[in-house]
Structure formats: structure tokens, C-alpha cells
Amino acid sequence: MAELTQNEKRLLAVLEKEKKADAPHLAGLLGATPEAVVQWAHLAQDNGLTAVERIVAKEFVYTDEGKTYLKNGLPETQLLRFILPGTTLADLQKHEAFRIGFGQLRKKGLVKVEGTSVTKTSPASTDADESALKSPSAADPKTRELIKRGILQESETVRYTIAITPQGLAVARKGLDLREETGTLSREQIISGTWKNANLRRYDVTKLPKKAYPGKIHPYQRIIAEMREILLEMGFTELYGGIVQQSFWNFDALFQPQDHPAREMQDTFYLKETLPLPEGYEKVKAMHISGGETSSTGWGGVWKEEKAEQCVLRTHTTSVSIQHLANNPNPPVKAFCIGRVYRRETIDTTHLAEFEQLEGIVMDENVTFGNLLGILREFYHRMGFEGVRFKPSYYPYTEPSLDAEVYVDGIGWIEMGGAGVFREEVTAPLGINYPVLAWGLGVSRIAMLRLGLKDLRYLHKSDVAFLRETPSLRKTKGGL
């Protein structure tokens, strides 16, 4: 049995004498409202100490309209009284009860209209209706009709009687502590020391608390933050760059041929804005056309300045890292960028037109493809993925290229990102003389798996309830 509240105790004390009484009576004795007494009685009933009986009584009340009819008779009765031999319809129409009463008379078949004269059918009587009005009864169809007409209303009155149970009586007889209870301790009670004699209310610890919602960062932001911290720990410098990039930095500097399908309108968001090409762009142009001064053949064909000047919403954060490399050609460079990128995709549950990409680059003397595998393995291990493997892949601006796969219990090997060494065709025109290791991964893919989302859009059009319910610390196992 839960601890009794002060009010339950007071109620039991009164019921010890009264045994059984209705709520208003008990309320009078306890100096409370009947509603409060009923509430206390329910609490005590949960503890088996009282029995609460709910008695529902139905009664009929007259609407304002009904009250008038009770005095003057129903409209049809009034008309019946008015109709005398020779009464015309026109006469009748002048009667104030005509609008409602005449329809009723017709409906009940109590009048006949012939030409302009109105006569009663015989025997025309509304006695049964009048009697239903005067003494309504739930079983009487005439009463139901009056309710429908809005003349009568049914109303329920609820009464409670409260009785003490034998168990309640036993508790009451054992003696009840009826001292005044203290809820929140007051400053006064604390400093004066009166708290020592206070009867501190005891709370029921089995009851659930009222929900409180802390302010917190988005679960997706938390995953981004985790990756960011891992990379900072691994000695990488964070980059931040613009969403709008020139095609030159987004594509051309990365040796993406100008007729590459990824550069077409249906895959990339183009803007009408253009920006002037950077100094030294001719080297990139020469690389595309003939391979510049490297062992490359280049793509051949033509390379148009206008195509390179056009602005796009960046399709990868590589546009940011390549500019960082061009501005910092001296080794070592270890940098990463996590940012929104854009692809002109039709939006559905697994495709968004904008999503976060993580990208890391390492440029140093003597770094190798093997070092790239080492960095990736370390990164994925720190993300919690124990099994990591690599397989050949293709990216236009890296050579050699690879895809990294991680092992997830219950799913198997899943692709987690691509990587490679920047082609010399990318680095040479920008004056970068050392190998650049680069890798990227879709952050939202991990988020979707970790948060168990079926729809990627949910990351960006989130339900507040989902955000409130997703704990800050998620139990992860094997990276998910």
C-alpha cells in the first residue's frame, strides 16, 4: 500500500464515524469541495480503504423554448385551439405559432387544407404531446421527439457516495497522524528549525514524473561532431568553405573532363552567376588538353573557359580541399572538411538533393597508398567499426582508387566511402609536388543506419517528438 496522503487520512478519520455518506456531506465536514473529496476517496479506494459509488441520474430540463410551451402549450396545440369552423389559411398564417405549429399539425395529420379553408380532422388532439411535455419519460417516444425538437434536454447528474471498507476501518482505528503536512520546505522552516517538527509529505516514488525536455543538439549533429573530434584527435586541420563554387574548382581543377556526364545539367545545380578564373588556370587547361608536363596524355579535345567560369552548388567538398592545397603547397598538409554538398537528384527516402559529406586529405613527402589504407582503418576503428576492408574502385580524380567497406553485424559488409591518391593531373598544375591522399564518405549514410531511419528526409524535416526522445548517448555496438 502506498503512503497515505494527508487528505486520505482526514477522509478516513471522518468516515470512521460516518461509515457511508455522499460527497457533498463529507465535503461539508472536511471543509473542502465535493470534487476534492471524491478525488481523495478515489486515491483511498486504490489503496483498498474506501469504496466509491458513482450514481448517475437522468433528468429532463426544459430549454427556454420548452419553458414557454409549458406555459402556453405547444405551437400545434395553440393553433388547434385557434382553428374554428371557417378559419382560413390566411387567418392562421397571422398566428405567431404558425411557422412551427402548422408543420407539426400537417405532419401529425391533424388538419386538412381545402382551398383557402383549414379544418381540423376529427378527433384532433395534441393531448399526448402535451402530457409528454409536462411529465417527460425516457421510454416515451413523444418525449424523444420533443428532445429532437429542442424543447427538452436530457441531462445527467452524477452523485458519489463514499463508504469506508473494513480494511479502511482497521487503518483508521489503528490511529492516523493528522498533523498539517508540509509540501515544499519554506525558507522560514529551514532557518527557524521548525522543519524538525514538520510532517513532511511523503511522495510516491512508483509514480512516473512529468516529462521535462532538455535543449540539445540534433542527433545528426552529434554524429558529425563525433567524426570531427576523431579527425581533430588524428591531427587534421578543419576546413570551411563556400557552398557556391566555380566549376573550375569543383570540376576542372580535379581533372574532370568538360564533357563528363557528372557535369551535365541533370546532375548538377548550375547558377547563372560566373566568377573569373584564378591566376594560372592555363596550366589546368593544358593538362586537360595534352597532359601538361607530366607522363599523362590529357583528355584531348577542347577546353572552354566559359564552362569553367560557371558557378555551381558544390557537388563535393573536394572543391574546398583542392583550394586549400593550392594555397598551401608545402608539406605536410592534413585537413578535413564536413559540409553540405548538392546533387540534382529526385528526392525520395534514400536520396536527397543535399547531404553532408566528410572529406579528408593528407599531403606529405613520401606518403603512400598504404598510408591511406592506414588512415582509413584508424578512422573507421575509432568510429566503432572493427572489420574494415578495401577493394579497387574508380574516381575520376584519384589513382589508385579504392572503396572502403565496414562489417556490421546482421547486415554484412557495407560500403562506407571512397578514397584514392590525387592524380598527378590534379596536383601538378597547382604546384603540388607531393602525393595527396584523399578520402570521402557520406555522413548521412552512417546517420541513417545509426538512428535506424527509413527516410533520409527525416534528418532535415524532423519530428520534434523524435528529437526529444532520441537520447544524447546512444548505445552503440559495432559502430551502429
Partner 1 sequence: MAVITLPYKYLERLTRTDRKTILDKVALIGSDVERTEEDHADVEFFPDRPDLFSPEGVARAMRGYLGIETGLPSYPVRPSGIKFTVDPQLATIRPVLGAAVIRGVKFDDESIQSIMSLQEALHWAVGRGRSKVAIGIHDMDTVKPPFHYIASRRSRGFIPLDFTEKMTMDEILEKHPKGRDYAKIVKDFPLFPLIVDDDDHVLSFPPIINGERTRVTIDTKNILLDTTGTDKRAVAVAVNIICTAMAEAGATIESVEIGGVQTPTLAPAERIVSVQECSRLIGIELTPATMAELLRKMRFGAEPAGTDKVKVQVPCYRADIMHDWDLFEDVAIAFGYDRIIAAPPATFTVGKPHPVQVNAALAREAFCGLGYLEVMPFTLTNEDVLYKRMQREEKNGVLHVMHPISIENTVVRTELLPLLLEFLTLNRHRELPQRLFTVGDVVLDCRTHQQASGVSTHPEADFSEAYASADAVLHELSIDYTVKESQDPAFIDGRRGDIVSGGKTIGVFGEIHPAVLTAFELEHSVAAFEIDLRAVPGYPAL
Q: Does 328 bind partner 1 (CB under 8 A)?
A: no
Total residues interacting with partner 1, rule: CB under 8 A: 96
Q: Where are the alpha helices (DSSP H) in 342-402?
A: 369-382
The only residue of 258, 390, 442, 445 in contact with partner 1, by rule CB under 8 A: 390
Nearer to partner 1 (CB atom), residue 75 or residue 219: 219
Residue 173 host element (H or E): helix 166-174
CB of 305 to partner 1, least distance (A): 18
Residue with Cβ nearer partner 1 (28 or 276):
276
Provide, rounded to whole angstroms, the least separation between the CB of residue 132 and partner 1: 45
Read off φ and ψ for residue 301, nearest 5 degrees: 70, -155
Q: Is 394 in the site for partner 1 (CB under 8 A)?
A: yes
Cα distance between residue 101 and residue 77, in whole Å: 8
| Site map (CB under 8 A) of partner 1, residues 429-448, x = contact | ------x-------------
Site string for partner 1, 41-80 (x = CB under 8 A): ----------------------------------------
Closest CA to 335 of 204, 480, 228: 228
Of the candidates 120, 144, 307, 389, which one interacts with partner 1 according to CB under 8 A?
Answer: 389
Secondary element (H or E) of residue 80: helix 75-82
Query: Which contacts of 199-205 are long-range, i.e. CB under 8 A and separated by 24 or more positions?
Result: 199/6, 201/5, 201/6, 202/3, 203/3, 204/2, 204/3
User: Letter for the amino acid at 236?
Assistant: F
For the chain, report the end-to-end CA distance as a whole number of angstroms: 44
| Residues 224-263 as x/- pattern, contact with partner 1 by CB under 8 A | -x--x--xxxxxxxxxxxxxx--------------x-x--
Q: Does 129 bind partner 1 (CB under 8 A)?
A: no
327: contact with partner 1 by CB under 8 A: no
The DSSP letter of residue 262 is G
Instruction: Pick the closer one to partner 1 by CB: 169 or 230.
Output: 230
459 belongs to the binding site for partner 1 (CB under 8 A): yes
> 133-172: which residues touch partner 1 (CB under 8 A)?
none
Considering only the stretches 72-80, 127-135, 198-206, 214-222, report the one whose residues sit in contact with partner 1 under the rule CB under 8 A. 214-222
Q: Which of 131, 178, 144, 153 is nearest to 59 (CA)?
A: 153
Under rule CB under 8 A, residue 411 binds partner 1: no
Stretch that binds partner 1, among 3-11, 82-90, 190-198, 365-373 (CB under 8 A): 365-373
**99 vs 391, beta carbon nearer partner 1:** 391
Contact between 3 and partner 1 per CB under 8 A = no
Q: How far is the CB of 103 from partner 1 (least distance, A)?
A: 42
CA angle 373, 376, 378 (to 5 degrees): 110
**287/290 Cα distance (integer angstroms):** 5
How would you label 76-85 residue by residue, b for 16+ Cβ within 10 Å and e otherwise?
Answer: bbbbbebbee
The answer to whether 57 and 138 have CB atoms below 8 angstroms apart is no
Query: What is the 8-class DSSP label of residue 108?
Result: H
Q: Judged by CB under 8 A, which of 40, 369, 385, 397 binds partner 1? A: 369
Q: How far apart are CA 63 and CA 69, in angstroms?
A: 10
d(CA 346, CA 26): 69
* Site for partner 1 contains 366 (CB under 8 A): yes
* Residue of 110, 375, 443, 480 interacting with partner 1 (CB under 8 A): 375
Cell numbers given for 453: 531511419
Site string for partner 1, 277-306 (x = CB under 8 A): --------------x--xxxxx-xx-----
Cell 527557524 -> residue: 192
What is the nearest approach in angstroms of partner 1 to the Cβ of residue 419? 11
Residue of 61, 84, 353, 411 interacting with partner 1 (CB under 8 A): 353
